[in-house]
Amino acid sequence: MSSYPNGVRECWGDYRNEEDLEVPTQALYQHQKKLPNLPVPTLEATCALYLQTVRPLATDAEFAETKKAVLGRSKTPLCATAYKYMFNACRIPHRSADSYRIYDPSLHHHIVVLRNNKYFKVQQSATPLTFLEWTTVLDKIIAIAGGKESAIGVLSSQDRDVWADGRDQLLVDGNEASLKDIESAVVVLCLDDETPVSRTEVARGLWHGNGRNRFYDKTIQLVVYENGKAGILAEHSMLDGMAMSVYADFMLTGLRNGSIDLGDLTTPHGALQLPAITQLPFNITRATLRNIALAEHSFDLLVADHEVHVESFFGYGNGLMKTFKCSPDAYVQMAIQLAARKYWGKDVGTYEASQVRPYLHGRTETTRSCSIASKAFVDAMVSSGPLERVSDKANACRNACASHVQYMKLAAQSKGVDRHFLGLRMLLQPGESAAIFEDPLFARSKYWQISTSHLTHELFDGWGWGEVVADGVGIAYSIKKNSVHFNIACRKTIPLSMSRAFGHLLEESLLEMRHIFEAEMPPQAKL
């Protein structure tokens, strides 16, 4: 045993520092060295037990927030492949197959700004410009941009083979350096001179704009309008909406919370050391002028053949849907099924994108929203026979929602049918066939007359894309606490607008669904 200096040992409550006082030869301490260390359970087990103990102390809303804090946004790592294509990257057209070109971010720090169809390179160092520096730079670009010039960018809106030839012409005419500056830029910033006001006007402008003040092959184009409205246009081939959502969330949440460093906000503009601003030169020959004219004509015809409508429903949102014991996403999908039956008079193939990024290089699998259970629900809602009991309709909706959630879980595990069948079809050799692929119902079941996807953020005002079949609709939706927003895009229909009609039917369906659930609730006692 160690001696006691001055006949005393000062102890500070750490058992490990006084183990020498536990003499193993004494009977009292003979088992000390044999005892196991205190076990440390898995974090998952501790969190699960903790949630059980706090559940009776919390309301449903409080418990939902607690679960987010305990479990985090995602317990599963997600494939990050898409992010390498976001910055300093560009799609390159070729007649055989397009490529994607990624430039070294340590060597390319510049941004390209578009104004009046002209391209301005803003050279910056590895240290980002401050907010004041950027506002000064952009004011200067607007001042020096002058009138509009021939729109090189509209060439990138063409058929890929046509654009490949047009790009080759630009290279032959000595424009390689300017194209490289655009393609290698961190991002492209488009300063448009339009002033859209409504959600539909903004959606239309971000979807395609007028085709001139853009470079559609660039992965990220930040679009800012004259009145301050803004958004993102993303090139879809190498990444999906969730990656862009993360990028947008970083900006918007950071600005709201003040976590983004805007730099010195007190330095007078005249004292700022501004970076070099260079207008990228283009040698535009007669051949390219002809290509631009053809591209503008094709673009304008394509845009004129399309329509988009944003339906903002403020009747209720995910808060009330949860009280009906339904998944909000599945609930909205059932509203879409009901609206589709009302519009077309039949059930149609419906696609919902499901993320499979927990797997290496995974992107999406299809959740087929039109199901046996959804058909039963819609049949009950539109039946012209004796009125079903309201509770039967509500239960049919719950069953349909549960069925949808189950399919989504399978799709999230890459166990849906569409990607598997796609792979098998691609393995067929010339001359080979399989009976299932020749069956007419196989083709009809994947004719996506309704293409949907769900992305919600309280700071996003909307998002969207186009239809995937000629007589179909593309429906992007967001389910917020007290509202649901639909971006509905399709080919233009005359004399009645399909997008507006579908938006009205979605509102009508959501109101009818609320009625069946609230009608089955017991009446509240009057005071």
Q: Which of 108, 110, 208, 236 is catalytic?
A: 236
Query: Across the strands, what pairs with 477?
Result: 454, 486
- The C-alpha atoms of residue 522 and residue 169 are separated, in whole angstroms, by 73
CA distance 454 to 464: 10
Edge-to-edge strand ranges of the sheet holding 306-313: 306-313, 484-491, 473-479, 450-454, 350-355, 364-368
Separation between Cα atoms, residue 151 and residue 199, nearest integer Å: 27
Identity of residue 380: A
Query: What whole-number distance in Å separates Cα of residue 484 and Cα of residue 308?
Result: 17
Q: Residue with structure tokens 């654009």?
A: 163
Positive or negative torsion for Cα 449, 453, 415, 64: negative
Active site residue 236: yes
Cβ 87 vs Cβ 150: under 8 Å: no
CA–CA separation, 508 vs 392, rounded Å?
Answer: 20
Give the count of beta carbons closer than 10 Å to the beta carbon of residue 436: 11
Find out whether 21 and 32 touch, Cβ atoms under 8 Å.
no
DSSP 218: B
List beta partners, residue 489.
Answer: 308, 474
Q: Which residues of 18-35 are buried (b: 16+ CB within 10 A; e: fewer)?
A: eeeeeeeeeeeeeeeeee
Residue from 231, 191, 214 nearest 299 by CA: 214
DSSP category for residue 82 = G
Angle made by CA atoms 262, 265, 268, in degrees to the nearest 5: 140
Phi/psi for 405 (5° steps) reads -60, -40
Whether 132 contacts 272, CB under 8 Å: yes
Catalytic residues: 236
